[in-house]
Chains A and B, each alone.
Chain A
Amino acid sequence: MDTVFYTLQDFLLHSKSVTYVLMGLGLLLYVFWWWFLTDKDEKKRLF
């Protein structure tokens, strides 16, 4: 939180790293969210 950034490179490295981690977590969250949302739905028979 209180990190001091001396260069733009430092700032972008930090903020983009955090964003990439969040992206991964977001994708995982989305998959679990979809399961949670649809697991009680009637399953479509595909055969």
Chain B
Amino acid sequence: MSQESTASTAPRKSLFTPFNVVAGVIVLVGLVITFLRFTKGIGAVTNLDDNNPWGIWISFDLLCGVALAAGGYTTSAACYLFGLKRYHSAVRPAILTAFLGYALVVFALHYDVGRPWRLTYPIFLSQGTTSLLFEVGLCVFLYLTVLFIEWLPAACEWLRLDKLRKVLVKLTLVLTIFGVVLSTLHQSSLGALYLIAPSKVHPLWYSPYLALFFFVSSMFAGMSMVLFEGTLAHRNFHELMDETHLEEAPGVVTGFAKACSVVMCGYLIMKMFGLALENKWHYLATGYGVLFLVELIGFVALPAYLYAIGARERNRTLIRFTAVWTVLGIVFNRFNVSLVAFNWQLPSADRYFPSWMEIAISLFVVTVGVLAYRFICTRMPIFYEHPDYKESH
């Protein structure tokens, strides 16, 4: 690739593009609310209370963020553990998305915990080994480190740190195995967290198998996110992609669609088992039942079918649309478990609804992620193989 030469001949683009202006406004508002959060306390910017100590920052930034960042372990496992080398070009973008996703989860957590400067205490000072939260915290801490090391070779190629890169590349297989193990642990534990509140989570969403549901759904969430992110990347960074990336892209799209369809079909059957084993069918005839069916039929069964049709017909537009639909479905599911179906028995006056500042901070976090992604993609070899290291990939 010759980005440098094309950059020098191309006319200078204005900084005030619609994207930059909108991103700038969001970041500015986010910084003001950040100042308020850390000077006036969490109560000044959120609608959280004793009944609802976890709000949208946990539901969206953490639960959705972790699930949608699962593309890192699924893609690298497919390529390095299952030997599906035809997905190799998708690994770096997936690892980058996962790394930024987890980094932003930790970043967003600083807003939500009472004393953010003590975020590392459970790891280094006071281990609560009987707590699921400790396990989640430890796994996220370790997996973020793993993702950072997995992403580092791209940075080393950019900075020409050959020796360090050589050592890191040798660790790929070990890191991939470590990543899969850690992801299995904490993706499921995030679901298991809600097992502590059987009287607060609506019976349709509460299940002894919550951990399994969260883990299995993270697989298709991650793969769908890779497809969604790939669509955006093809639209915005097409000129950065090399021939290999462009040649492998259709195979990645149909392969991932097929995998998503299979996993979603399994997830649907498991959810049925969850209902059957506790005989919860009668709840389906209630208002919450309608919501549950919308989630299950509209955001699991329908996309599973659409993925299957897309993979059969090699219809990549349909697959990309379905990926967006599935990502929305995962957000819907995590919101249902942690917000809508949580504290469902409380009177509506005591129910939680996020303040505009909480939503603004979540938008701010996503925008920071998009900006970091763009910064890295336009500088480091993410969508192409660096010409000096082609043989060593």
Q: Interface code A28-43, partner B: CB below 8 Å = 1, 0 otherwise?
A: 0110011011111000
Q: Are B262 and A34 in contact (CB under 8 A)?
A: yes
Which of A11, A16, A26, A37 has a CB less than 8 Å from the CB of B262? A37
Pick the most buried of B261, B276, B277, B313: most chain A CB atoms within 10 A of its CB: B276
Q: Are B273 and A2 in contact (CB under 8 A)?
A: no
Q: Are A23 and B273 in contact (CB under 8 A)?
A: yes
Cα A14 to Cα B281 with chains together (Å)? 12
Considering only residues 83-128 of chain B, those with a C-beta below 8 Å from chain A are: none
Q: Are B277 and A16 in contact (CB under 8 A)?
A: yes
Which of A14, A33, A37 has a CB less than 8 Å from the CB of B279? A14
Which of B261, B265, B269, B282 has a CB less than 8 Å from the CB of A22? B269
Cα A39 to Cα B273 with chains together (Å)? 28
- Chain A interface SS verdict (over half): helix
Given contacts A19-B277, A22-B272, A22-B273, contact A29 B282 (CB under 8 A): no
Q: List 8 A-B contacts (CB under 8 A).
A: A11-B279, A14-B279, A15-B276, A22-B269, A23-B273, A29-B269, A34-B262, A39-B312
User: B223 → chain A, closest Cβ, in Å?
Assistant: 15
Could you say which residues of chain A place their CB within 8 Å of the CB of B269?
A: 22, 26, 29-30
Given contacts A14-B279, A19-B276, contact A37 B266 (CB under 8 A): no
Given contacts A15-B279, A30-B265, contact A37 B273 (CB under 8 A): no
User: A18 → chain B, closest Cβ, in Å?
Assistant: 5
- Count: A-B pairs, CB below 8 Å: 45
Cα A26 to Cα B272 with chains together (Å)? 9
Other A-B contacts than A30-B266, A37-B308, 15 sampled, CB-CB below 8 A, are: A1-B281, A11-B279, A14-B279, A15-B279, A18-B276, A18-B279, A22-B272, A22-B273, A23-B273, A26-B273, A33-B261, A33-B265, A34-B262, A36-B308, A40-B312
Cα A6 to Cα B131 with chains together (Å)? 36
Q: Which residues of B contact A (CB under 8 A)?
A: 258, 261-262, 265-266, 269, 272-273, 276-279, 281-282, 308, 311-313
Could you say which residues of chain A place their CB within 8 Å of the CB of B279?
A: 11, 14-15, 18
User: B74 → chain A, closest Cβ, in Å?
Assistant: 18
Given contacts A26-B269, A30-B265, contact A37 B312 (CB under 8 A): yes
Cα A22 to Cα B279 with chains together (Å)? 13
User: B231 → chain A, closest Cβ, in Å?
Assistant: 22
User: A19 → chain B, closest Cβ, in Å?
Assistant: 4
Q: Are A1 and B282 in contact (CB under 8 A)?
A: yes
Cα A2 to Cα B285 with chains together (Å)? 12
Cα A40 to Cα B282 with chains together (Å)? 40
Could you say which residues of chain A place their CB within 8 Å of the CB of B308?
A: 33, 36-37
Q: Are B278 and A37 in contact (CB under 8 A)?
A: no
User: B227 → chain A, closest Cβ, in Å?
Assistant: 16
Cα A33 to Cα B307 with chains together (Å)? 12
User: B215 → chain A, closest Cβ, in Å?
Assistant: 18
Cα A6 to Cα B279 with chains together (Å)? 14
Q: Are B278 and A2 in contact (CB under 8 A)?
A: no
